[in-house]
Structure 1
Amino acid sequence: MYTTRFIQLKYLVPNTVYTIFIPMVSSLLVYILYVVLGYHNIAIPLLPVTLIGTAVSFYVGFKNNSSYDRMWEARRIWGGITNSSRMWGTMVLQLTNDKETSKKLIRRHIAWCNMLRLQLRRNKVWSETYYQRYTSPLQRNDEDSFEQKADRILTKYLTPEDYAQVKKKGNIASYLLNMQNADLKALKENDVIDAMEYMTMCNIIQELYNNQGGCERIKNYPFPRQYAVFSRLFVDVFMFILPFGLISQIIELTPTVPWLIFPVCLVVAWIFNSMEQVGDFSENPFENAVTDVPMSAMCRSIAVDLQEMMDEQDVQERLKPINGILM
């Protein structure tokens, strides 16, 4: 997640080079044919080009709104995880007098948050190549595999018995919640908590299940390709035909400087392509990109809150932005 007011140039420039290729080629073709060789019949009326541009704007706007909804839903889900985590820590500490049991349940919850984060950041095959352009340098330089990261989390927060149970599971985060529920049932059967307290804490686990399912829905069901692909295609088509509609107008208004076709088309192309790419940045908020939901920082904040509730001495520090990026 960007924390600065403006996006750094090192993230903008590579994308800008890509977006100007089609309008540059098209403008050069129109300039040579119309100005140099004198084929004036290649010019097309500006009105249909304007209508196409308007239609493309509406289509790209629809895509961006849908992409923003996905990103905002992801952020709301993780806000819910943060609130439920605090509630879980409070309930565990208030209702169980056994410090070892409380510590076990809370540390297991910290492991769940971090495992959910790691599972969500496992790139899907279809998005790996594309998102390398937008990945934070911190993530690109992280060569550890998912298994190595998961092993560090699980060995740090789980007991050896719990670790032996979960290390081979496919969906570790889901299984950790199942273990929490099993321990709650044991506490109820041993009369440590009553039926009402048991139901209240089960409701928290249910909410955590719902939050995990919401994240997995966003992760596993990508933004529909029919919208994303045609949005890109329509913008490229508009960028290609734009010089054919502008050349006669530019020659009529400024006959001595026909080369204005180049800067005019490039500026329009940059605006339209930037609008289109905003949707790309937002449509998948769990792909290690610099615009993603800052799950690492939120997991660390959850861990800090819960450790402070337990009055631990070696409390971790909250993550801070590095070069304007919070992961």
Structure 2
Amino acid sequence: MYTQKIYSARQLAQWTRYETMVFTAIITVWVAIFYFLDLKWFKIPWTPLALIGTAVAFVIGFQNNSAYGRIWEARKIWGGIVNTSRTFGMFVQDMLTNEHAKKPVAEAELLLEIKTLTYRHIAWMTALRHAMRAPKSWETTSNHRTNREWGMLPPEMESTLEEDMKPYISKNELKKIMGKDNKQTALLYEQSHHLRKLKERGMIWEFSFLELEAILQELFTLQGQSERIKNFPYPRQYATLNHFFMWVFVLLLPLALVPQFAEIGAALESSPAWVKDLFVWFSIPFYVIVAWIFHTMERIGRTGENPFEGTSNDVPISTIARGIEIDLRQNLGEPDDEIPKQFPAKRNTQF
């Protein structure tokens, strides 16, 4: 645990190092101007700056709460997909039987129908996670320099949807699905049509058919909730203005902080003259700490606005979907060497 904390602290320092250098440059310039040009009159009182800082802190807190709410809702939605998927896999295996079949089929054909329905569900999860990773104009976190330089991309950015769905559905169905705008919706329609045909053949009892259709309805609901978060951005009037307010505070802070340290140095009666003279330079580390805290908190809020963008702080939908696939295929009785492995973590990060 201690090692993990050190690693996380190092990652955080690396993640914000460019801003830290900017803050260091800003305060160094301010202190140099104040010290060498003797601009002791150039200052503002703490009261208005404290009011600005308080307002910025409230807005940042509101943004972080809202962003965390979006992340947590997204995680609950995909947690629902996990549970519903497992239920679907169980229902399909136990509800497809020859008990009510008009014309009993061979066990091999029965198993093939179960596999087809299960694989189509995996294709649905594949289409959904690809749709959630599709870039939007308001998703800019992944374009930040520190995110680009780490080179950590989600699996959806390294392959195409068509390639990822090929193992799970037939060529004709794949061609049909790829012609639709909302491919995940089209797959659930295909799933429902397939269940209806099985019911008409008597391979699914009518009550079982209703239960399976209810599962599809729940999947539609979870899909719609996931799409709502993806397609409705965090309101720009909050995100953009909050960013500007933070920078206004950070740029005005030296006007109060630097003179304050100069006054403290002048009041050090028992200290040597050179300490009094140079004490103003101690404002540099204190300013960097305060500015870094405000900026980092604001950036954390911005990072959490889009939980499906594909950055290291987002909901790991690729890992979740692959985990469900492994569960479903293992319960179909497939050998381990035919089941894909879980997506590897990159820098202790799941996608």
Using structure 1 for the length normalisation, give the TM-score: 0.91
User: Shift of the alpha carbon at 1:192?
Assistant: 1.9
The residue type equivalent to 1:21 in the other structure is: V
Between the two structures, name the one with larger relative contact order (CA 8 Å, sep ≥ 6).
1
Post-superposition CA distance 1:107-144 (Å, at most 9, x none): 00001111111111011133257545436624189874
- Aligned mates of 1:214, 1:141 — CA distance in 2: 22
CA contact (8 A) 1:33 1:39 kept: yes
- Residue 100 of structure 1 pairs with residue 112 of structure 2: yes
Structure 1 position 303 matched with structure 2 position 303: no
Alignment length (residue pairs): 320
Q: Distance in 2 between matches of 1:140 and 1:254?
A: 52
User: Which of 134, 147, 150 in structure 2 is aligned with 1:134?
Assistant: 147
In the alignment, the residues of structure 2 paired with residue 142 and residue 186 of structure 1 have an alpha-carbon distance, to the nearest angstrom, of 33
1:54 Cα deviation after fit: 1.4
Match of residue 25 from structure 2? 24
Q: Tell me whether 59-68 or 7-16 shows the greater mean CA deviation.
A: 7-16
**Equivalent residue for 1:275?**
297
The correspondence for 1:244, drawn from 219, 231, 255, is: 255
- Whether contact under 8 Å (2:138, 2:233) holds in the other structure is no
Code of the residue aligned with 1:54 in structure 2: it is T
Distance in 1 (alpha carbons) for counterparts of 2:69 and 2:308: 14
Asked if 1:122 is matched to 2:144, the reply is no
CA deviation after TM superposition for structure 1 residue 49, in Å = 1.3
Tell me the distance in 2 between the aligned counterparts of 1:88 and 1:129: 35
Q: Distance in 2 between matches of 1:65 and 1:126?
A: 19
Shift of 1:225: 0.7
Cα distance in structure 1, aligned partners of 2:320 and 2:215: 18
Q: Is contact 2:81-2:222 (8 Å) kept? A: yes
Identify which of 306, 324, 327 aligns with 1:284.
306
CA-CA distance at 1:177 after TM superposition = 0.5
2:36 alignment partner in structure 1:
36
CA distance in 2, matches of 1:209, 1:168: 20
The RMSD of aligned alpha carbons is 2.2
1:73-109 superposed Cα distances (whole Å, 9 cap, x missing partner): 1111110001010000000000113111110000000
Aligned to 1:59: 59
What SS class does the counterpart of residue 49 from structure 1 fall into? helix
Query: Pairwise mapping of residues 87-236 of structure 1 onto structure 2 (< 5 A)?
Result: 87-97=87-97, 98-128=110-140, 130-132=142-144, 133-134=146-147, 137-139=151-153, 144=158, 149-236=160-247
Q: Where does residue 16 of structure 2 map in the other structure?
A: 15
Q: CA deviation at 1:161?
A: 2.8
**Helix, strand or coil at the partner of 1:321:** coil
Per-residue displacement from partner, 1:158-192 (whole Å, max 9, x unpaired)? 12232232122211111000100111111222222
Q: State how far apart, in whole Å, the 1-side matches of 2:154 and 2:197 are.
A: 44
**Identical counterparts, % of pairs:** 33
Greater Cα shift, 132-141 or 168-177: 132-141
* Distance of 1:56 and 1:123 partners within structure 2: 30
In 2, the alpha carbon distance for the partners of 1:14 and 1:87 equals: 40
Contact 1:22 1:240 in 2 (8 A): no
Structure 2 unpaired stretches of 5+: 98-109, 267-275
Shifted more, 126-135 versus 260-269: the winner is 126-135
CA contact (8 A) 1:121 1:287 kept: yes
TM-superposed deviation, 1:33:
4.1
CA gap 1:209/1:143 in 2 versus in 1, 3 angstroms: closer
Q: Check conservation: 2:128, 2:184, Cα contact below 8 A.
A: yes
What are the ranges of 5 or more consecutive residues in structure 1 without an aligned counterpart?
none
Q: CA deviation at 1:20?
A: 4.7
Q: Following TM superposition, where does structure 1 have runs of at least 4 consecutive aligned residues deviating by more than 4 angstroms?
A: 140-144
